[in-house]
């Protein structure tokens, strides 16, 4: 017999929990849902666009009744539960329907608050919460002229805008002098008011409603200052109150909402609660993003996976009034312990404020230009130290470097056939269609369904914007650190810490200790874990070829037709007749179709059959060449220019410096690929300032640059320091690599890593602290003892991984 799960409240949070549960434990429960509303489940936040005539009810349904049938869920729609009998473990609805439960989930949402003034029950007084309310408002727009909306918050303004779209004369009454004062500061509130006034909305600010006038039907509104105005309908949008009556009557502990712990359980552990009816760590929420986080945790717990915890959310806000862009998040008012940076361009109607505390973003409010809202929110969530980027923080996340769609960032302005994701050829229209038809809510969903932003990721911001503009609401994930992958709830940093502290020296040991959710992990976590264990325990851990991406397993790059490419190392970009002759011979001997000079100063042999790889390598090895690791999360190339060896401007011997660096650093596994370059003078012909570690020679020595990237998103290096001798160049280089190896997340290149931890931190570890530098350098050299073996030679001549290259059988 399956256990019985009953859900009370067929709304956004409750049904989301059921969806999450069905994903992970579809067979576990026999599920029943009670919903007071007479429909399936719909997207409540889109009621605003429905009211404004931009969407229809059909378009906002999330799950129709067929969905409930398909998933074997008993839906009691239009039935309000009036009693929970905890002793007998059953719930009873208004019409007498009873269902017993083993576990109960409360998701009753909230009720609109009705201000206690005379006349608040007259006909024509409407709240804004559900489809029924929208129907009533739409009906009023057909018959009446004057609307008064009480409440200048998010809901009130969206209601006012909707009614105005239908030609009503709308007055918004607000109790303070700033609209949306919980989301906006005075400055932004004033800009908002101005643009709404330009559209024809009227405001009565700092007005306190005293009575609603009329006999049976609303006729007008009177304020405390004596003013009276005419009204045919009055929309109450002054706030919401968690709907906890049912829980209270059942003796479940409530304060401002139903009190739950981090696993979303109420004081009765059989009874869970999620959504707006809940109070968690003293906080109640009124936006969807945190509720979806709660849903995930509750589902996880109901499925008895039991490791997820909800730890609260920071939310951000946008207003769904077409043509008005505003964004706010966190503590945007600040106090005496915070500082603020403000940018204002009154002519363009743009205002931005970022609030900082101890060099971290704690809040932001923006009006008119909200492109960087997601970025500020990210900085806030990640608690990034922004001291190094402070001077250009207000200019935004300089999208200029992005390949593919540099400069293009106003998603709303894009037409449907404009390409968003250049890697996978996904247009805006495809994404919008997937979001609406497949009912997607998160970036991960969009990635899975459309592949947009699933490859290089440079269009992530754009996809997020499309998501936001399509859905209207705010769906940025809650601010918990991202788990490593779907197989675990632990983050990269937590996993790395456990590997070190517990001395975990194999992937299995990590998965066991951290209770991985899948038996073998997946293609995302296994390569990361493999790297983390060998980076932490170079002597003890054994590399696991089966957890490596094919390129690193086969030591060659797989091509689209299943053949491979071979790139031998050319130290510092230098070669010789002997090497070139060997390459020419090998190409002819194995009929290799393409020979190409790469962007990394060496030669690529493309189209080699897998079976031929060991023999190709053998011939190259015999001429003294080794793997160039063109496939590896490891040192790729060290580009050099001719330098003082030949060049009339050269100030140092850049070729030999480059060769030395390459010889000492090749072979090491790293979080991502790592590229270096050495230029002989500031003309910088080796392009050292877009490399992970770049060296530029000057008369008096060497400038060391770090964190450059030339790929998807161009980033010029930061200057680390200047040194005098070659030995110092090497020491700093090795220490930098080791710090990166020990601390960056898998697949995080030095550029995003430095942006995350800050250049000051890297300087402090490597430049300012000689002891630490030496220690890092020595750790790197120690690890190189195990790493510097030519993988080609091992496979070509020493019989390593033989099975990789030969078929097990031939049939015909």
Partner 1 sequence: MAEWIEVGPLDEIPRLGARVIKGDEGNIAIFRTSSDEVFALADRCPHKGGPLSQGIVHGNSVTCPLHNWVIGFEDGEARAPDEGCTATYPVKVENEVVFIQL
State the angle between helix axes of 443-450 and 428-437 in degrees (0 to 180), rounded to the nearest 10: 110
Q: Does 580 bind partner 1 (CB under 8 A)?
A: no
Of residues 186, 438, 482, 581, which one binds partner 1 by CB under 8 A?
438
| Angle value at C-alpha 83, between 80 and 84, nearest 5 degrees | 115
- Tell me the site size for ligand FAD, rule CB under 6 A: 37
Residue 128 lies near ligand FAD (rule: CB under 6 A): yes
Q: In sequence order, what are the beta bridge partners of 125?
A: 234
**Please, which residue, 220 or 312, has the CB nearer to ligand FAD?**
312
Q: Strand 271-273 vs strand 209-214: parallel, antiparallel, or unpaired?
A: unpaired
Which of 78, 396, 483, 600 binds ligand SRM (CB under 6 A)? It is 600
Residue 130 contacts by C-beta under 8 Å, 6 or more apart in sequence? 37, 44, 47
Is 372 among the residues that bind ligand SRM (CB under 6 A)?
no
Quick check: 407 binds partner 1 (CB under 8 A)?
Answer: no
633 contacts ligand SRM (rule: CB under 6 A)? no
| CA angle (49, 52, 56) in 5-degree steps | 55
Nearer to partner 1, 143 or 560 (CB): 560
Residue 624 binds ligand SRM, judged by CB under 6 A: no
| Residue of the chain from 557, 621, 765, 783 that contacts ligand SRM (CB under 6 A) | 557
Which of partner 1, ligand SRM, ligand FAD, none sits in contact with 348, Cβ below 5 to 8 A by type? none
Select from ligand FAD, ligand SRM, partner 1, none the partner in contact with residue 37, using the beta carbon and a kind-dependent cut-off of 5 to 8 Å: ligand FAD
Q: Which does 128 bind (CB under 5 to 8 A by kind): ligand FAD, ligand SRM, partner 1, none?
A: ligand FAD
Which residues make beta-bridge pairs with 92? 83, 98
Q: Which residues contact 234 (CB under 8 A, 6 or more apart)?
A: 124, 125, 126, 147, 148, 149, 150, 212, 218, 221
Out of 16, 480, 675, 745, the only residue in the binding site for ligand SRM (CB under 6 A) is 675
Query: Rounded to an integer, what distance in angstroms lies between the CA atom of residue 602 and that of residue 554?
Result: 20
State the Cα–Cα distance between residues 736 and 266, nearest whole angstrom: 50
Q: Is 479 in the site for partner 1 (CB under 8 A)?
A: no
Task: Give the separation between CA 422 and CA 562, rounded to whole angstroms.
Answer: 23
User: Rounded to whole angstroms, how far apart are CA atoms 229 and 214?
Assistant: 12
Assess contact for 282 and 106: CB atoms under 8 A.
Answer: no
Among 598, 663, 775, 788, the residue binding ligand SRM under the rule CB under 6 A is 598
Pairwise CA distance, residues 638 & 641, whole Å: 10
Q: Is residue 547 involved in binding partner 1 (CB under 8 A)?
A: yes
- Name the DSSP class of 347: G
The yes or no reply on residue 705 touching ligand SRM (CB under 6 A) is no
CA dihedral over 516, 518, 523, 526, signed as positive or negative: positive
Binding mask 269-308 for ligand FAD (x = CB under 6 A): ------xx---------xxxx-x-----------------
- Please report how close the Cβ of residue 236 comes to ligand FAD at its closest, in angstroms: 12
Binding mask 635-674 for ligand SRM (x = CB under 6 A): -xx-----------------------------------x-
Q: Which of residues 288-317 bind ligand SRM (CB under 6 A)?
A: none
From ligand SRM, ligand FAD, partner 1, none, interface partner of 522 (C-beta below 5 to 8 A by class):
partner 1
Q: What is the DSSP letter of 706?
A: E
CA pseudo-torsion sign 208, 213, 218, 220: negative
Residue that the structure tokens 């002891």 belong to: 771
Question: Least separation, in Å, of the C-beta of 119 and ligand FAD?
Answer: 23
- Contact between 155 and ligand FAD by CB under 6 A: the answer reads yes
SS3 326: strand
Report d(CA 168, CA 182) in Å as an integer: 27
Q: Using CB under 6 A, which residues numbered 505 to 544 contact ligand FAD?
A: none
| Alpha carbon distance, N-terminus to C-terminus of the chain | 52
Q: Does 712 bind ligand SRM (CB under 6 A)?
A: yes
Q: Which residues bind ligand SRM (CB under 6 A)?
A: 557, 559, 565, 567, 596, 598-600, 602, 604, 630, 636-637, 673, 675, 709-712, 749
Binding residues vs partner 1 (CB under 8 A): 438, 448-449, 451, 454, 518-523, 526-527, 545-550, 553-554, 558, 560, 562, 803, 807-812
């Amino acid at each position: 017999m399956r256990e019985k799960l009953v859900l009370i409240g067929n709304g956004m949070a409750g049904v989301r929990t059921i969806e999450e549960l069905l994903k992970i434990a579809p067979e576990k429960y026999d599920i029943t849902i009670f919903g007071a509303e007479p429909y399936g489940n719909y997207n409540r936040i889109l009621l605003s666009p429905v009211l404004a005539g931009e969407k229809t009810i059909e378009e906002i349904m999330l799950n129709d009744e067929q969905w409930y049938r398909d998933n074997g869920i008993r839906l009691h729609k239009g039935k309000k539960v009036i009693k929970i009998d905890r002793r007998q473990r059953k719930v009873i609805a208004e019409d007498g329907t009873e269902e017993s439960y083993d576990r109960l989930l409360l998701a009753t949402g909230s009720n609109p608050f009705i201000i206690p003034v005379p006349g608040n029950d007259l006909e024509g007084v409407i709240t804004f919460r559900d489809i029924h309310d929208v129907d009533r408002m739409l009906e009023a727009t057909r018959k009446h002229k004057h609307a008064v909306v009480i409440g200048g918050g998010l809901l009130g303004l969206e209601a006012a805008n909707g009614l105005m779209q239908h030609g009503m004369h709308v007055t918004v009454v607000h109790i303070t002098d700033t609209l949306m004062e919980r989301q906006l500061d005075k400055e932004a509130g004033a800009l908002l008011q101005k643009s709404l006034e330009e559209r024809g909305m009227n405001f009565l600010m700092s007005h306190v409603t005293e009575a609603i006038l009329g006999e049976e039907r609303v006729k007008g509104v009177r304020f405390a200052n004596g003013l009276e105005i005419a009204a045919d309908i009055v929309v109450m949008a002054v706030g919401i109150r968690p709907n906890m009556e049912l829980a209270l009557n059942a003796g479940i502990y409530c304060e401002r909402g139903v009190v739950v712990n981090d696993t979303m359980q109420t004081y009765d552990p059989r009874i869970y609660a999620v959504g707006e009816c809940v109070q968690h760590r003293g906080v109640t929420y009124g936006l969807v993003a945190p509720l979806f986080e709660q849903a995930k945790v509750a589902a996880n717990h109901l499925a008895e996976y039991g490791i997820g915890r909800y730890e609260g959310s920071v939310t951000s806000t946008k207003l769904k009034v077409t043509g008005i862009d505003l964004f706010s998040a966190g503590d945007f008012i600040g106090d005496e312990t915070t500082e603020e940076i403000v940018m204002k361009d009154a002519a363009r109607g743009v205002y931005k404020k970022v609030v900082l505390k101890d060099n971290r973003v704690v809040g932001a409010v923006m009006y008119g230009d909200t492109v960087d809202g997601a970025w500020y929110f990210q900085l806030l969530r990640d608690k990034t130290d922004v001291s190094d980027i402070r001077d250009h923080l207000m200019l935004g996340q300089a999208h200029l470097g992005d390949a593919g769609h540099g400069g293009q960032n106003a998603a709303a302005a894009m037409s449907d056939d404009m390409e968003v994701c250049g890697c996978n050829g996904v247009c805006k229209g495809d994404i919008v269609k997937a979001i609406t038809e497949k009912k997607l809510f998160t970036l991960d969903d969009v990635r899975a369904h459309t592949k947009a932003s699933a490859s290089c990721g440079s269009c992530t911001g754009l996809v997020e914007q499309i998501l936001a503009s399509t859905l209207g609401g705010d769906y940025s994930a809650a601010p918990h650190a991202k788990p490593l992958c779907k197989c675990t709830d632990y983050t990269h940093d937590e996993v790395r810490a456990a590997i070190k502290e517990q001395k975990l020296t194999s992937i299995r040991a990590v998965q066991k200790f951290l209770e991985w959710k899948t038996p073998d992990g997946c293609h995302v976590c296994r390569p990361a874990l493999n790297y983390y264990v060998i980076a932490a325990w170079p002597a003890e851990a054994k590399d696991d070829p089966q957890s490596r991406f094919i390129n690193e397993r086969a030591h060659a790059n797989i091509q689209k037709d299943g053949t491979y490419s071979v790139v031998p190392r050319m130290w510092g970009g230098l070669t010789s007749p002997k090497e070139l002759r060997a390459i020419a011979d090998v190409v002819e001997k194995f009929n290799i179709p393409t020979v190409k000079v790469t962007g990394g100063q060496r030669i690529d042999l493309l189209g080699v059959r897998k079976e031929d790889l060991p023999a190709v390598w053998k011939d190259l090895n015999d001429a003294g060449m080794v793997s160039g690791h063109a496939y590896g999360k490891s040192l790729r190339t060290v580009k050099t220019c001719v330098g003082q060896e030949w060049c009339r401007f050269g100030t140092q011997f850049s070729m030999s410096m480059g060769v030395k660096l390459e010889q000492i650093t090749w072979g090491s596994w790293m979080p991502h690929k790592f590229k270096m370059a050495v230029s002989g003078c500031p003309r910088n012909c080796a392009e050292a300032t877009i490399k992970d570690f770049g060296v530029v020679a000057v008369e008096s020595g060497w400038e060391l640059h770090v964190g450059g990237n030339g790929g998807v998103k161009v980033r010029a290096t930061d200057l680390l320091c200047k040194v005098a001798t070659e030995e110092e160049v090497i020491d700093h280089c090795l220490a930098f690599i080791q710090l990166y190896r020990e601390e960056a997340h898998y697949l995080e290149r030095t550029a995003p890593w430095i942006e995350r931890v800050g250049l000051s931190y890297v300087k402090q570890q490597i430049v300012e602290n000689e002891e630490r530098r030496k220690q890092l350098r020595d750790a790197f050299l120690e690890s190189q003892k195990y790493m510097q073996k030519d993988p080609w030679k091992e496979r070509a001549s020493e019989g390593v991984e033989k099975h990789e290259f030969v078929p097990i059988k031939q049939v015909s």
